[in-house]
Amino acid sequence: MFLFLVLALAVVVAAVTLAVVGGGEGGGPLPEAAPQRLWDQLPPDRPLRRADVDALRFPLAARGYRMSDVDDALNRVAVELAERDARIADLESALAGARAAAPRVPLDKPEPEDQQ
């Protein structure tokens, strides 16, 4: 039984060695796999929506996510948030200016006296 296990182990080692060294039809090592890229990128032609960020999924790389894809997406989100913050500040200042310029209307108007 021991001799059979040693012989089977030798056959397996020889087959693996031939497969690795022989390399099949190419005759060389396996080609490099193409890296996965971000398929559903953020839309470049319109502002981001919450659904865009919720649907964003990064492909996995050897050590987690591809840093360049994550950095690009986060930079895009940061730029759009800064633009929205600036727009909100402009609108709030315009609203405050309009409120300051508007004439004050008293809330309690005196009721007209009944003429008899």
E strands along 19-69, which residues?
60-61, 64-65
On whether the CB atoms of residues 44 and 75 are closer than 8 A, the answer is no
What are the tens digits of pLDDT across the range 22-76? Answer: 655 655 665 666 666 666 677 888 887 778 887 777 777 777 777 888 888 888 8
Ranges of each domain in the chain: 36-101
Neighbours of 73 (CB within 10 A): 19
pTM over 0.85: no
* Assigned token pair, 112: 């007209």
Measuring CA to CA, how many Å separate 82 from each of 67, 74, 85, 91, 110?
22, 12, 5, 14, 48
